[in-house]
Amino acid sequence: MGEVLLVTDADWIAQQCEAALSGDHHLHRVRRGADTLEAVEQVEPDLVLLDMQVGNMGGMAACLAVRQEEGMGRLVPRPVIMLLDREADEFLARRSEADAWLVKPINPMRLARLVASTLAEASTPA
């Protein structure tokens, strides 16, 4: 069972992610983007799932913080998926170095497939 860190302050997003992933993954949740790095260090998730709209530190800033810590060698690299509000936000997801993204509302089957394929791609040797 894979470990997934979900960063969202929206209960409905957490419920949809839990419904989509609970059979194959154990979800850990933080409600503040500013808590992302500490949670990554504590949980050591296989994947980070970031909501674009999180109060106090959005998904883009949280993703950039994770990538910066990975680049400095302080965190083990791991895939990051962003949950976007609209298709135009794909530009921001690319800029923040997210591995993949999904536009809300969340389709549980699409999310489950995206998580599985992102994890598979991350575990494939380069």
Closest CA to 84 of 111, 105, 57: 105
Identity of residue 74: R
Pick the CATH number of 2-120 from 3.60.10.10, 3.40.190.80, 3.40.50.620, 3.40.50.2300: 3.40.50.2300
At 58-68, the pLDDT tens digits run 999 999 999 99
Rounded-to-integer distance, Cα 114 and Cα 53, Å: 20
At 2-53, the pLDDT tens digits run 999 999 999 999 999 999 998 899 999 999 999 999 999 999 999 999 999 9
In which order are the strands placed within the sheet that holds 100-103? 25-30, 2-7, 47-51, 80-84, 100-103
Rounded-to-integer distance, Cα 1 and Cα 69, Å: 25
Mean of the pLDDT values across residues 90-114? 95
Q: Would you say the pTM of this structure is higher than 0.75?
A: yes
Domain boundaries, the chain: 2-120
pLDDT at 114: 97
Q: What average pLDDT does the chain have? A: 94
pLDDT at 126: 62
